[in-house]
Chains A and B, each alone.
Chain A
Amino acid sequence: MSGTGGGGNGNGSGPRKRIVAVEAYCIGCRLCEINCLVKRSRSRKILKAFRRERDAVVPGIRVEESGHVSFALQCRHCDDAPCIAACITGAMHRDPATGAVVCDESRCAGCWSCVMVCAVGAVRPGKKRKVASKCDLCMGEEMPVCVAGCPNEALRYEER
């Protein structure tokens, strides 16, 4: 059972790409939240996802807005991730390929310790399922759907 979702905080080995939000270009439309919700739904189709799963899925990205200033924020995939440190089950771990911090939902016990220590508020309690919900950089996709779907290119996916 080597390396199956069992915690650990080393750095990833592959090219490290991260999502960067450009505050000046965010228009507060929240298409990023919508695209993330669809991606995480079971059906992956917007009409079905919104009809059936809207209250069950927590998007990994969240738009904050105040007056005319807004930006979208998701997990920073920190080098010294406090959520990995605080995770009591070892579900929170680092994906070796991308260096992203990922929650293994099969191991998550829904204790919300990760929610407690994330200073950015990027880990959130799941709604229908008692597991932590956070951005996983759309593992397996070439570009995260929030970046691809932003109408004003306010999110960038670049090497950091």
Chain B
Amino acid sequence: MKNDRVRYLVVGNSTAAIGAVEAIRRLDPSGTIRLLSREPHHVYSRPLIPMLLEPDVDLHRLDLRPRDFYEAHGVDKHLGLAAERLDPRERTVWTREGPVPFETLLLACGGKPFRPAEVGGLDACGVFSFTGWDDAVNIRSALETSKVSQAVVVGGGLIGIKAAEALRARGIEVTLVELADRVLPLALDARGSRMAAAAIRKAGVELLCGTTATCIEAPGGRASAVRLRNGACLPCGLVVMAIGVAPNADLAAGTDIRVDRGIVVDDRCETSVKGIYAAGDVAQGTDALTGASRPIPIFPNAFWQGTTAGTCMAGGEPRPAAAFAMNAVEVFGLPTISVGLATASGEGTEVLTAEDEAGTSYKRIVLRGNRVVGALFVGDVDRAGIYTGLIRDRVDVGTVKPLLTTDEFGLLRLPQQYRKHLVLGEGIEA
């Protein structure tokens, strides 16, 4: 590896890194971009790793960008080469192949699965996390080598549900265990979660809420059962731990870079050290709706942060963006979209709900004052994005509140000026 001081160094090879590379190249077609990735794979879509459990999967389906992406964008890529140490003052990253000096750096190291210290047996054979390519490939091998007929997935969030879907599709009996009183507790409210639970059970998956794993029994080092807090014991040949992801901020630990739960960044995605940026699951910015400083580990946010970081690294002005939680996921075929403070209730909030007669579709809109701060759609998710826009742009919807949950609600109901702004003033002429 050349040890010239590169203009742009990117550590990471997932969503945020891609956003940054594309943003840099829009402004600077020639400055050298060097990219280091611990994983050896071409950039792949993390949300799609359940596909790797399908029997006849075409691996190219997981490519997040075409195979010529690095070449087309002039990226000096080093896949399978991890960044091991960072010295912000020397502005250098060390790898096993030597130092990599930089002018600007983007830390897009993503997250790592949360491993609860109090649960025993996590290192046994047959226990997996489900956050990356290797996890999926390992599970796939395990399914192919040992006959697994029962599996337990610990964690009823997005990753847990996707793991359960993939395993169930292989004909395995799956039990899904969730600590909270309902599945997808952050994204869905009680009603929405009941619909999700119905879909889960209809698929033949057993769902246990309000409990969690205390230990994994593994005689001979091979997982054979999961013991739950409520005393129950679930025999199984495979365990997926999906109880959460924490920012992978190891590289910044012990340096001048301020780290809280994740690497703390401002609204330009710059860390406390000038010229060093962080984006994606590793970064901790400000939640626009709550004002809290917290990581927002979701796909679009990672891409937008990467774009912001890349733009700033190349000397451009980033578009101001409001960051808040948002998730679109199908739960065993039931579409759900949850944006902002979708489950909030209580003082200061106004909650509007609507359901269709058949009970197959549910909407929940949360308002603070005259502004939408949360929206939840289960079943019928058509045009949900309009509400995302209302949240992001803090539109005053006082005059149309009664219409918000109806099918008639649309752009036409919004003030004409906002409508014109939304379509860039060029889409609709009054």
Contact = CB atoms under 8 A, between A and B. Distances in A.
Please tell me whether chains A and B touch each other in their complex, using a CB distance cut-off of 8 A.
Answer: yes
Interface of A: 1-10, 18-24, 64-66, 69-71, 73, 76, 78, 80, 82, 85-86, 88-90, 107, 109-121, 123-125, 160
B278 interface: no
Contacts of A1: 60, 66-68
A86 B429 contact: no
A117 B63 contact: no
A3 B65 CA distance: 9
A26 to B, nearest CB: 9
Given A10-B22, A21-B427, A116-B339, A89 B66 contact: no
B170 interface: no
9 contacts: A6-B66, A20-B429, A73-B423, A76-B423, A89-B64, A119-B386, A119-B393, A123-B385, A125-B381
Nearest to B424: A76
B1 interface: no
B304 A73 contact: no
B317 interface: no
B385 A118 contact: yes
**Which 6 pairs, one residue from A and one from B, show the smallest C-beta to C-beta distance?**
A119-B389, A121-B383, A6-B66, A118-B385, A86-B300, A64-B412
A9 B326 contact: no
Given A65-B412, A110-B330, A22 B299 contact: no
A85 B412 CA distance: 26
A65 to B, nearest CB: 7
Contact of B428 (A5, A73, A85): A73
Contacts of A23: 428-430
A23 B426 CA distance: 12
B272 to A, nearest CB: 26
Contacts of B422: 119-120
B382 interface: yes
Contacts of B303: 85-86
Contact of A8 (B61, B65, B339): B65
A92 to B, nearest CB: 11
Contacts of A70: 412
Nearest to A67: B412
Contact of A117 (B326, B330, B410): B326
B408 interface: yes
Given A115-B383, A119-B392, A125-B382, A2 B67 contact: yes
Given A64-B410, A113-B299, A120-B389, A6 B65 contact: yes
B65 to A, nearest CB: 5
